[in-house]
Chains A and B, each alone.
Chain A
Amino acid sequence: MKKLAVVLVIAGIVLAAGCGDKESAKGKTGGKIELEVAAFQGGYGLDFFEYAAREYEKIHPNIKIRVWGNPRIWEQLRPRFVAGDVPDLTWPGWDMDVWALVAEGKVMPMDKYLETKAYDQDMKWKDTFIPSLLEKGMDKGHYYIMPFNNNVFGWWYNVDMFNKNGWKPPKTYEELLVLCEKIKKTGVAPLTYQGKYPAYMLSGFFFPWAISAGGFEAFKDAQNLKPGAWNSPAFLKAAQMIAELRDKGYFEKGAMGMDHTGSQMEFITGKAAMIPCGTWLGSEMKKQIEQLPKPFHMDFINPPVLANGKGDPSITYSSVETWIIPKDAKHPDEAADFFKFMTSLKMAKQFVLRKNTLMSIKGADAVKLPKDLVTPAKLLREAKLTYSADYRDWYRTMGKDIESAMAALLNGEVTAKECVDRMEAAAERTRKDKSIPKHRME
């Protein structure tokens, strides 16, 4: 009996000591401040953040930065947020509900840091960002969620196929219909899409066409949950346009059952002429493109909109990845400074060059751009306005319901009218639910 008690006590001590050890190892090592940077490991990998960390350590010898990450990082970070044991700086990935973190006061406001001088430019850090991208992360007048890279979303077309057949990339929806008919005759599917993930079809077809039909206000009203916005005439028109392409057989057969890589394979192997996707397409499909028997060329266009549409045709979809400094971070000041370094013009240009993507920093595209980025960068510069589907991050359950309605339209289960009514019903549920904090797009 006594022996057991002794064993238990010893086990307890060992366990406690183990925890204590871990605690003291964190934060400081040999007088140095250790920063923990946790990043989602997506198509861009972690190596750039590692590189930035090593560069930063060179000019700040008192700081040591530990970068880690994986493709499902939010699952590891969530319990750590609950426990208050958080990294100093993090990009927690697409499935981390960062707005819930903001609502719970778990994110550090960035206002005071943004007022400081930028790393390598003679201006405030705040002014180095593309303003609309920085403002996405604002809540009640404070900055919380920081942008980093800038993903432009639109359509990609197969340049080789277009050249061979003498086709021109369509500028208007009317041109698109004519072109699709020609493409279809050659036995190639005019358009494919990432059926398993309807978000691609929303940003690729639905929102651009709703904005074209009803002007940007139509989209803004929808994001702001204005009653009747989701089944407004503009949204109905967009749904009807999708239904038209569906009924005319311009979408690739079977696309509804494909995931993103599946449909993107169809595109790069020439089975479909166009696909909606973001600027990450090239890096995401890099390996597969290299394995193709013939070199493959693609280029980017904004989704073709109505010739006499109300919305400005230059409006471009661009979205950012969401970096935050947790409220409970042990070294928020140092973390903010490191992030400022990561977003300095020099580093931002490096990111553009190495990772084949645009940045949220003004002037970062003033480098010799990788060929896939030339057109997106140009369209972004010419855009009167950029936007993204922020409602999806604000109201996640509603976001899923909207996606379901889109999928139901594409697989012919509902009519255009039923589709937008389903969307409005989803918006109505969110509007009525007082437990969901509301956001506004200005």
Chain B
Amino acid sequence: MTERDKIKTVALFLSPAVILYGVFFLFPMAQAFYVALFQWRGVSMDKTYVGLANFHKLLFEDPIFWAALGHNLAFLIVSVVVVIPLALFFANALNSRLWGAQAFRAVFLFPNMISVVAVAVLWAFVYHPKIGILNAVVSGLGGRVSDNGWLGDPRTALPCVIATSIWYSLGFYIVLFLAGMQSIPRTFYEAAEIDGAGGWAQFRYVTIPLVWEILKLGLVYLIIHTLNIFGLVWVMTAGGPSNHTDTLLTYLYRLAFTDSNFGYATAIGVVVFILIFVISASFIRLMRREVVEY
């Protein structure tokens, strides 16, 4: 087989993937960047070119966009602060040879196996202003329950949705980190123990460095997930009360599909893409370390 034939063969085998990727991913993405430059109602092929006007309006004249971005960042920050440490903690606990660890592994992954709509509906009942468990618990402990209901009160709506999102996503990160931890040879821990390392020192100096790459992956995944959050919010509050739980994507959806403002909505999509790209890239940079090979 000559060199040319080889290239041909490689190209032949690669082409289905490249074509599919191009048609279903690269092309729509390029098109989104293009559509964002237009004013388009999305009911006909007629578009009006407006240049960067959509972006200008978005960044300088749209309070809801900034509020929604703030809510996404709240999702992101709370998730990073709560989910990553908790997931590491549980993964580490489950990685030990504790009694029942196997069963708990399955239990923690349960929420992830339920569809997001079902989760949202279930939790909406937990927060229900009349029959919700949370009401019963809080008033049982002598606390004051808001007159507006948990999801109707501007002060509690967002924290409630974020709490649900954490409950929903925690299992995934536990399993992710656990997989990383299980690939660490036992002998490392035994060696550390001989050197006098206690539980914390083992975790700090053996586990963390060795799951660092996976931690990074989990973090990037969390960034993408929280900046793209939609279904949970849409079903639980649809962005209400008065935009207090709107996220970039619930706002985008509404602008496009009920307000017929596709060009503007697409501009939000582009901004979300850039945000995810920039935030992920900077996290990856910040977390760059020499990879420990073993």
Chain A contacts to B: CB under 8 angstroms: 1, 4, 74-75, 78, 81-82, 95, 97, 100-101, 103-106, 195-196, 198, 253-258, 262, 266, 271, 396-397, 400, 403-405, 407-408, 411-413, 429, 435
A256 adjacent to B254 (CB under 8 Å): no
Q: Is the interface of A mostly helix, strand, loop or mixed?
A: helix
How far is B251's CA from A404's CA once the two chains are assembled, in angstroms? 13
CA of A196 to CA of B157 in the docked complex: distance in angstroms?
12
Residues of chain B touching chain A, judged by Cβ–Cβ distance below 8 Å, are 8, 12, 39, 41-46, 48, 50, 61, 127-130, 147-154, 237-238, 240-243, 254-255, 257-261
Residues of B contacting A97 in the complex (Cβ-Cβ under 8 angstroms): 41, 43, 258-260
User: Which residues of A lie under 8 Å from residue B130 when comparing CB positions?
Assistant: 254, 258, 262, 266, 271
User: Which residues does chain A contribute within 8 Å of B151, judged by CB atoms?
Assistant: 257
Are B152 and A257 interface neighbours, CB within 8 A? Answer: yes
Residues of A within 8 A of B260 (CB): 97, 100, 396
Interchain CB contact under 8 A, B43 and A256? no
Q: Is the CB of A1 within 8 A of B44?
A: no
CB distance from A302 to the nearest CB of B (A): 27
> Cβ of A257 and Cβ of B148 under 8 Å apart?
yes
Are A81 and B43 closer than 8 Å at their CB atoms?
A: yes
Distance between Cα atoms of A82 and B45 in the complex (Å): 6
B-chain residues with CB within 8 Å of residue A1 when the two chains form the complex: 8, 12
In the complex, which of the residues A74, A81, A397 has the most CB atoms of chain B within 10 Å of its own CB atom?
Answer: A397
Report Cα–Cα, A257/B44, bound state, in Å: 37
CB distance from B267 to the nearest CB of A (A): 13
Given A78-B42, A400-B254, A408:B242 Cβ within 8 A = yes
Q: Which residues of B contact A256 (CB under 8 A)?
A: 129, 147-149, 152-153, 241
| A158: min CB distance to chain B, Å | 17
A411:B152 contact, CB within 8 angstroms? yes
A74 neighbours in B (Cβ, 8 Å): 257
* A195/B258 in contact, CB under 8 A: no
Determine the chain A residues whose CB is within 8 A of the CB of B44 once the complex forms.
81-82, 104-106
Q: Are A400 and B152 in contact (CB under 8 A)?
A: no
- What are 8 residue pairs bridging A and B, where the CB atoms are less than 8 Å apart in the complex? A1-B8, A104-B41, A104-B43, A254-B148, A255-B129, A257-B129, A397-B261, A400-B254
B253 to chain A, nearest CB (A): 11
B134 to chain A minimum Cβ distance, whole angstroms, is 11
**How far apart sit A78 and B260, CA to CA, in the bound complex (Å)?**
10
On whether the beta carbons of A408 and B154 are closer than 8 Å, the reply is yes
CB <8 Å contact, A196 and B238: yes
Residues of B within 8 A of A4 (CB): 12
Q: Which residues of A contact B50 (CB under 8 A)?
A: 435
How far apart sit A429 and B130, CA to CA, in the bound complex (Å)?
A: 38
Specify which chain A residues have a CB less than 8 angstroms from the CB of B241 in the assembled complex. 195, 256, 404, 407-408, 411, 413
Chain A to chain B: the 9 pairs with minimum beta-carbon distance, closest first: A257-B149, A254-B129, A256-B152, A257-B152, A404-B242, A256-B148, A97-B260, A100-B260, A254-B149
Listed residue (B8, B42, B241) with the most chain A CB atoms within 10 angstroms of its CB:
B241
Complex contacts, A78 vs chain B, CB 8 Å = 42-43, 257
Assess the A258–B129 pair: CB atoms within 8 A: yes
- Which residue of chain B is the closest to A400 with respect to CB atoms? B254
- Give the CA-CA distance A257 to B238 in the complex, in Å: 11
Which residue on chain B has the smallest CB distance to residue A395?
Answer: B259
Cβ contact within 8 Å between A95 and B147: no
Tell which of B48, B147, B152, B154 touches A258, judged by Cβ atoms closer than 8 Å.
B152
Interface centre among B42, B148, B150, B258 (most CB of A within 10 A): B148
Given contacts A75-B257, A95-B257, A407-B240, contact A257 B43 (CB under 8 A): no
Which residue from A101, A403, A413 sits with its C-beta under 8 Å from B43?
Answer: A101
A103 CB contacts on chain B under 8 angstroms: 41
The residue of chain A having its C-beta at the shortest distance from the C-beta of B41 within the complex is: A100
